[in-house]
Structure 1
């Protein structure tokens, strides 16, 4: 795929336990923009990968960079990155290492990470991966609002355990240019007012938001997986944000 400055590539990256399949409904609703949108599965989340439990955040960041290269993304033709939930860690690494490749980053119920951050630094070393928890447990950690029994069944059937190294690894960021990339925060299970208040208070989940030079904040009230609960609306948000300031 090649793009021009007027039609940036959109790269969709889902969070923990998920692969490219998680974006199927959003892709359907992108209409004409679907031709420039690509969903990818991060290393460690491909069920057929025999080494998936050893994959790291560096492997995932390298895979994103490789996908961008295959899509002919470069400084003259930057892409829009869409990062849902736990995809924020490898995407934060890519923004730090190659900010020139990104036209805009769209965080979906997520946000940029700070250097020195790990998702679960104390995740036991003797555990290779974290399976998708029972839904009653997961619901105490992230909202399942808007997900039907059918969607939850598909989630359970397709989910791949999250590699332990990905959960334990601390990210190291050194390039402040990443903060100049235009950013869209899509706030779903946490409202924009709450997100901005947490950012001002220095909450580790959103502390980096105050460092961003250009931020658009959009409320899309639903649970933590809007690609299923509000796929059409999320597709419209992505389409609009990706086309902004072209």
Structure 2
């Protein structure tokens, strides 16, 4: 199966470099995406531009792909399911929940000169970054690409209720499945609360398992693709 890999904020397709060979060895075709404004040199990209790139990859897949969204890109993966509910086989969300219709995509940190730069490790101290050694922190921070304002402040537009029938796997790295269920029940993700097919997978890692647990993450994604 084609597995489309969408990294979260500040990351390009190279974030999946350690996951790709593992997925290939497990018999799948991983397709890491470098999004407009996050690695292609387009500073003025919008959320619509990023969604168009994801949909182009969905449409190019020979069958129905698994669409994987990491962190904030869980919202982008969900937008793809909304736009292609009959073409997306399943969505996997790693360490993130989709933003609700009408909400900003990822307006989480300060905008400077038209983009949202990586804010440093301060906001991520604790469970998010507990498994990152100094070398990995430096590598991730050095490669971080400021997210264009048109992406970060882009508005979620969800229009097709058939998206709720697309199966979802919530991969729980820095939090547990029990916590995820509690947050969803409390209303933190209205769309996940309405999903028809929702499962949870625990993954013992921080927020960036593609960097710290690539083999384990690949196994989780391969199992999601195969089930």
TM-score (norm 2): 0.92
- Of residues 114, 126, 138, the one that matches 1:153 is 138
Per the TM alignment, residue 170 of structure 1 is displaced from its structure 2 partner at its CA by 1.3
After TM superposition, where is structure 1 displaced by more than 6 Å over at least 4 residues in a row?
Answer: 122-126
Per the TM alignment, residue 120 of structure 1 is displaced from its structure 2 partner at its CA by 4.9
Structure 1's unaligned 5+ residue stretches are 1-7
What are the equivalent positions in structure 2 for 1:84-233 lying under 5 Å apart? 84-120=70-106, 127-139=113-125, 143-203=128-188, 206-233=189-216
Q: After superposition, what is the alpha-carbon deviation per residue over 1:136-191, rounded to whole angstroms, capped at 9, x for unaligned? A: 24437x71121111111111221111111111111111111011011111011121
Distance in 2 of aligned mates of 1:183 and 1:155: 28
- Of residues 9, 23, 27, the one that matches 2:2 is 9
CA RMSD between the two structures: 2.0
Aligned residue in 1 for 2:15: 22
Aligned residue in 1 for 2:51: 61
Distance in 1 of aligned mates of 2:155 and 2:71: 17
Q: After superposition, what is the alpha-carbon deviation per residue over 1:19-78, rounded to whole angstroms, capped at 9, x for unaligned? A: 1110111112224346511101111101x52xx232111100100111223333xxxx21
Give the conservation status (yes or no) of the 8 Å contact 2:174–2:205: yes
Distance in 1 of aligned mates of 2:192 and 2:111: 31
Deviates more, 1:124-133 or 1:161-170: 124-133
Structure number with larger C-alpha Rg: 1
1:235 to 2:218 alignment: yes
Aligned residue in 1 for 2:38: 45
1:70 to 2:63 alignment: no
Distance in 1 of aligned mates of 2:148 and 2:27: 30
Give the conservation status (yes or no) of the 8 Å contact 1:57–1:89: no
Distance in 2 of aligned mates of 1:107 and 1:127: 30
SS in 1 for 2:9: coil
97 and 119 in structure 1: CA distance in 2 versus 1, 3 angstrom threshold: closer
TM-score (norm 1): 0.85
Structure 2's unaligned 5+ residue stretches are none
Per the TM alignment, residue 240 of structure 1 is displaced from its structure 2 partner at its CA by 0.5
Distance in 1 of aligned mates of 2:107 and 2:32: 28
